[in-house]
Amino acid sequence: MNRNLIALSNGKETFIQTVKAIWGDANRFSLTVQLQLGTSEHLDAFLDSLVPWLICETETNHWPGTVLYGAKANVRFYRCTPHSLSAIVEQAGRWFWLQPEMPEDLAIYRNDGSVIFESICHEEDVLLHFTEEEFIGLPLSIREKMVQTGRQSG
């Protein structure tokens, strides 16, 4: 059975602890830049810093948690490495990065391609999709800051 959870705390330390805890079970992550929202020097510099781990980039109207109608975005996929984790954590002032200062909607994927972490920045939602084993393996300090949604799968 899978647990679908919502993070209750959007503090910096909770973000860092959660991302670090799931990074080892992941092989890639994605960030989204909506074409109609524009960018900033800070966003461009951050994306440039991630180029060594870039896998691919695609223009689409959908990604985990979001479907755009009448607009498109660039979704960039990156390898999960200790160095890319450091780059993400260095920017961790908050869970919800917003354009034009930062890319949006961080998603983290397991090795099988399924989503373990999805953020919907404009809604200020973070959804986490854990197997029972993954959930039990999380530090209690993280589990206490989450609530299970009504949905269960698996």
Residue 28 lies in a domain: yes
Residue 136 lies in a domain: yes
pLDDT at 15 over 50: yes
- Report the alpha-carbon distance of residue 35 to residue 141 in Å, rounded: 37
Q: What's the total number of domains in the chain?
A: 1
Strand partners, 73: 34, 60
- Report the alpha-carbon distance of residue 51 to residue 64 in Å, rounded: 22
pLDDT of residue 153: 43
Q: Check if the beta carbon of residue 65 is closer than 8 Å to that of residue 124.
A: no
Residue 34 lies in a domain: yes
Average pLDDT taken over every residue of the chain: 85
Range of the domain at 100: 2-146
- Which residue, 131, 138, 124, is CA-closest to 152? 131
Q: What's CA 153's distance to the chain center, in Å? A: 20
CA end-to-end distance (rounded Å), the chain = 5
Average the pLDDT over each of 2-16, 42-56, 119-133, 135-149 and give the range with the smallest value. 2-16
Cβ within 8 Å of residue 72, ≥6 positions away: 34, 35, 59, 60, 61
Residue 151 lies in a domain: no
What percent of the chain is modeled with pLDDT above 70? 86
Residue 154 lies in a domain: no
* Section 12-28 average pLDDT: 87
Q: What is the pLDDT of residues 36-62, one digit of tens each?
A: 888 999 999 999 999 999 999 999 999
Q: Check if the beta carbon of residue 152 is closer than 8 Å to that of residue 3.
A: yes
Residue 152 lies in a domain: no
- Which residue, 96, 28, 36, 40, is CA-closest to 61? 36
